Amino acid sequence: MHPKDRVKAIVRRLQWAADTADAIITVSAFVREEVIERLGVPPEKVTAIHNGVDAAFQPKDASQTTGSLTQLGLRHGGYVLAVGTLEPRKNLARLCRAYRALPDATRQAFPLVLAGMKGWGDADFARDLAALEKEGSLVTPGYLEAAALRDLYAGAAVFVYPSVYEGFGLPVAEAMASGTPVITSNVSSLPEVAGDAARLVDPLSVDDIASALSQLLADEGMRQRLAEAGLARAKVFTWDATARETLGVYERARRGE
């Protein structure tokens, strides 16, 4: 939580920057609309340019992920993955409650992996984590090096990203590029990134998240279809395209267009 004085200072500087800039680039159309609406910027001044996905994020088979997964006690295709700092702002508390609503057999077959550094947590979130750890259905590997994280993406049965707000949501694109079926939120920029290649849920509904998890974990065919759609969708997000479009904005600004 940022101090109020710091937030006020940032807001003042942000408005000044928006008013004086020749051009503004945002990472999504969603943020572009926010900038136009909240900062009163002329629409022609703002361009949305998506982030790219590192080409190192690719599908892998079990022989390629076994080194990283064995160290964590995991098997390829045998866990649910979420990434992010372990704190409520990424909606992990609702994810944990949704996961706990799954049948015992499902949780034992597909443990929940929360990959990320420890942050802060409210009491309910801490209790959910403790309950899952006690039954042995939660793995919290903490911070992971890039190569190990890529293996974790590629080896997951399902990737879940139920955030309530994202400017872009790069982990969704990284999971799709890794050939992993995705469940993500139907709000902010996430539908823009996911397109029709992910299962969208209401991030404020524990029941909706649980239903999506249950459905995908029980239906291998659906997981395969989403994985294939995600691979195709991820090809849209390249850093080459980001660089070309960014250069175009700079050139137009230089010409005063």
| Confidence at residue 35, expressed as pLDDT on a 0 to 100 scale | 96
* Amino acid 253: pLDDT: 93
**How many domains is the chain partitioned into structurally?**
2
Q: Is residue 57 part of a domain?
A: no
At residue 227, the 3 state secondary structure works out as: helix
Contact, 177 vs 57, CB < 8 A?
yes
Separation between Cα atoms, residue 165 and residue 167, nearest integer Å: 7
pLDDT of residue 117: 85
Q: Return the pLDDT at 228.
A: 98
End-to-end Cα distance, the chain: 40
Same domain flag for 158 and 194: yes
Neighbouring residues of 155: CB distance < 8 A, sequence distance ≥ 6: 60, 62, 65, 68, 69, 74, 75, 76, 77, 79
**Is there a domain that residue 245 lies in?**
yes
Looking at residue 1, what is its pLDDT?
57
Predicted pLDDT of residue 92: 92
pTM: 0.94
Give me the pLDDT at residue 121, please: 67
pLDDT for residue 118: 80
Residue range(s) defining the domain that contains residue 153: 62-234
Query: Which segments of the chain have a pLDDT < 70?
Result: 1-2, 121
- CATH number at 127 reads 3.40.50.2000
